[in-house]
Structure 1
């Protein structure tokens, strides 16, 4: 059990949730405001993707990230900023009868330097590192992160002085993460996000969660989350497993059956659950000290 927990709010993500809820932030102003509201509700960390303001489609435009980051920093709100670096590793094949050539309209494979361009531009305290390749519940799509790409990205993140949040979707990702640490590409203190219940990844049942937890070094700091209706129950699950918490509209758009949530709602509910468990919430400065983050802006 972890009695001192920090909350991360993943405010928008890169999926199609904006077509299902008008509460999902799309523009840089909306994403920044959502991050600020989440922080005021008790989130120590805001995890940020950006979207095309016109279409809502996921984007990796550094200018959009810069606008979000500047808006949050200029607001004077104290929150740790965590930018995704997951985009730019997408392969979509042709159908099973003819997998090649790739579907180039949907495939987005770019260099490590390009994948981190917005991180270099904004210098957040944290950015993500998706530590492996994975199938999702889509026929021809593969989230592609080769060991070579991840080693290159990890080295660049280290040189930028940004703390990587290692995103683990399955057991093999944790093995690769250990190798990156052993090779000196990721430095202590190590930060891990266990992404549970993602289709064709690690299940979100207690035994699978604890298997991953028991296969991490005890001095690593981890958070855990699940998706959809399991997001809020996982607030308690993550703390009971010894970890920290993530909620937000990236992973779930409902507060309860039939009731759409905004990010503030989800953070407030997480805070209520944790306080009922006699857990003390860590603030942004305590998280910086715990994870040895470099405050920017």
Structure 2
């Protein structure tokens, strides 16, 4: 099922809000109200006020604070620093958008929101520098939601069967045969998986759908897109578990730079650049 190809679905315009001073975090992604139904907020926010306060206080090198919204995980997702360096640093205005430095690498972002949302990213640094960049989008989805990834063939399930291991499983099967494309109801599990070679995904939740497409536009011609899925159905953290669903477009086919497990990071091209683009559209069933 792909909403853009089905006349039963109609497009809805999107608006986005970000906080450059707080790691460039996306704080809201809303599809507009209209004759097809009410406005919808797509981003999940952690309701715990202590977590919100910890996110505001987090500085460079801090452990990741799972407050929700969309965080820019760059130049890595796992490893050090936790979820990368970009999320914990203030971004500065530049060239019609914002940018941030992470060691030898720079990340710039420009956003255009009208009928859809288009986000252009530019990574700069020494030629051939490895990195991972994931748009860590935590979505507010019901237990009836389903994830469609038409290009997916395999899932690299992280920390399975033990921490640090990676299991390659046929999509959408997860540990124990759990169908990873079904996003509820809560069952006390938490699974992270990289779906390599994917550049589009759709989340369908009742009468609403969100479609994401991404592609490398310039730089290393060998750079590969992937989808990172975080399917937390009340299985994490151990002490105070909650529900959060991450549908995360990324460049690279691994979540870490240390070479563990299958997959490779992206690299800057011969000119020291890599550009990629993410487009998001919202839909509602008639």
The TM-score, its normalising length taken from structure 1, stands at 0.27
The TM-score, its normalising length taken from structure 2, stands at 0.28
Considering fraction of residues, name the structure with more strand: 2
Considering fraction of residues, name the structure with more helix: 1
